[in-house]
Copies of this chain bind each other. A is one copy, B any other.
Amino acid sequence: MNPSQPNAISEHPGKRTSGARALQKGQQTKQIIIDAALGLAEQIGLEGLSIGALAEVTRMSKSGVFAHFGSREELQISVIREYYQRFSNEVFFPALNAPRGLPRVRTLFANWMKRVAIEIQSGCIFISGAVEFDDRPGPVRDALANSVQTWLAAMHRAVVQAKQEGHLVPDADEAQMAFEIHGLILALHYEARFLKSPGATARANTGFENILLRYGKPRIPGLPHC
């Protein structure tokens, strides 16, 4: 029998199992490459990524790495997806346990700050990638911009909910508040990572409290604070 026939595998259950195993192993290998690529991209940027550099880091052959992605762009996009997933798992999803409204906005900001604290050392793909791809249209830029926009939209949605819950002053501009919060994060990353300025983390936290002083409803004495 010719094993290249479509039904060849189904007639040999053993082969099907080994096929599934090969698929699983392939996915594991791909994940190892993506992990290495993410580590490399945080250090040298998405544009620094190359099939060759990754082959060296993972001690695989170039053709072995290439087989999993097909192109450098696909590799870059896989790294962006992986980063976005980790970011969501650390920053976004745990905040859903906090009550809707200002408590959730506070938790999102606190989780974001924790992520930045790590990225002051390691670098941040959302920030370095923006500089690398701000004038390079194409699928990598789109993947990166979509990831950032999805996250910023989630933050904005939490602010909108805070207003709906009556935690903000009635004229609070939700997009404005989200913009100002984003600015604090960017200033923290810039001043702490590049300028090595001491005190930037405290300033970002104080800046957040200042934003709440402006947009949050004044605290009613005796009631728990959001």
Contact = CB atoms under 8 A, between A and B. Distances in A.
Contacts of A180: 183-184, 187, 203, 207, 210
Given A214-B213, A214-B214, A187 B179 contact: yes
Contacts of A130: 190, 193-194
Contacts of A132: 131
Contacts of A164: none
A187 B186 contact: yes
A145 B194 contact: yes
Contact of A203 (B175, B184, B199, B211): B175
A203 B176 contact: yes
A43 B152 CA distance: 26
A135 B194 CA distance: 8
A98 interface: no
A178 to B, nearest CB: 9
Interface in A78-113: none
A195 to B, nearest CB: 6
A135 B186 contact: no
B194 A134 contact: yes
A199 B214 contact: no
A127 B135 CA distance: 14
A134 B185 CA distance: 16
A83 B212 CA distance: 37
Contacts of A186: 183, 186-187, 190
26 contacts: A123-B134, A130-B190, A130-B193, A131-B131, A131-B194, A133-B194, A134-B193, A134-B194, A145-B195, A173-B206, A175-B199, A175-B203, A176-B207, A176-B210, A179-B187, A179-B200, A179-B204, A180-B183, A182-B187, A182-B190, A182-B191, A183-B183, A183-B186, A183-B187, A183-B207, A210-B214
